[in-house]
Structure 1
């Protein structure tokens, strides 16, 4: 049995799973290189929160993921629907996986309302950071 001292969580879209909002697959070669030889678990917070693929694109409104978690901002889709609850649920599911698997690093999709890090920080990333997990973005 192989011993994996490091366990990574990774946005499913970065490893070629067709989980993006538009249903397309766009693997990231730099992320794949970082994962080489590591134990990794792909996740899609938006799917874990109950949203379909494909789905209407959504954006953070009134702040970032930290603000959504605090109830000061929202995630609104292109039709004007508030999908914040699904984003928070997905983030909570990812956090549960990260804790259960003793994740050492989360590799997440940049510029995502779930997984972005800075400019702005997404809901899932904010929750992981709040709970002491290290995050890095790709793509």
Structure 2
């Protein structure tokens, strides 16, 4: 049985749990979850906030919605539930939505509701980081442990590749092109396989 390795912001996998009732679907993250390597979380919903809900941003140490109401307690409650869930599942890595007041790992909106970004972490991201979690976003793509590049029959490895296999834990997925690998994938090791010349 496959064991999940990541907590994943549910909106990235297509769940319509954003404040406006929409998703932030990301194909690569959704595939990871579909393969069984990610468990979905939404700290804001887990903290008791509704879908849809009034947009929230951080203002100092508080989280305030656009109507001026303080939602800090809900954000903190959701973050604590996420941490507890991760510990129950033995997970120490998370793929989180960029810029979110809950999940942003490097930047968040500045609290002016003008879409201006500042350096900082969302409430949940900050709690996970403080507890030793490895944090990634949908943009950093650190998802694959092993990548195997294979040349086609009768072609030497140095002449080009026509298939790419990436291992997410125990599963292998075949992609038709290897070109995106250099810029789009981070992994622990790369294995090159070449069939003999015919």
Q: TM-score, normalised by structure 1?
A: 0.85
Q: Which runs of 5+ in 1 are unaligned?
A: 63-72
**Distance between the aligned counterparts of 2:13 and 2:73, measured in 1?**
26
Say whether the 8 Å CA contact 2:13–2:25 is kept in structure 1: yes
**Match in the other structure for 2:86:** 98
Number of residue pairs matched by the alignment: 127
Q: Does 1:83 align with 2:81?
A: no
Match of 1:47 among 45, 48, 65: 45
User: Which structure has the highest strand share of the two?
Assistant: 2
**Distance between the aligned counterparts of 1:99 and 1:126, measured in 2?**
16
**Distance between the aligned counterparts of 2:95 and 2:138, measured in 1?**
7
Q: Secondary structure at the match of 1:115?
A: coil
Give 1:8 deviation, angstroms: 1.1
**Match in the other structure for 2:54:** 56
Say whether the 8 Å CA contact 1:129–1:135 is kept in structure 2: yes
User: Which structure has the highest helix share of the two?
Assistant: 1
**Match in the other structure for 1:121:** 121
Q: Secondary structure at the match of 1:90?
A: helix
- Structure with bigger RCO (C-alpha 8 Å, 6+ apart): 1
Say whether the 8 Å CA contact 1:75–1:82 is kept in structure 2: yes
**Distance between the aligned counterparts of 2:69 and 2:48, measured in 1?**
14
**Distance between the aligned counterparts of 2:100 and 2:126, measured in 1?**
12
Q: Which runs of 5+ in 2 are unaligned?
A: 108-119, 140-198
Alpha-carbon RMSD across the aligned residues, in angstroms, is 1.5
Larger Rg: 2
Give 1:3 deviation, angstroms: 4.0
Q: Deviation digits for residues 13-49 of structure 1, max 9, x if unmatched?
A: 0000110000012311232355464422101100000
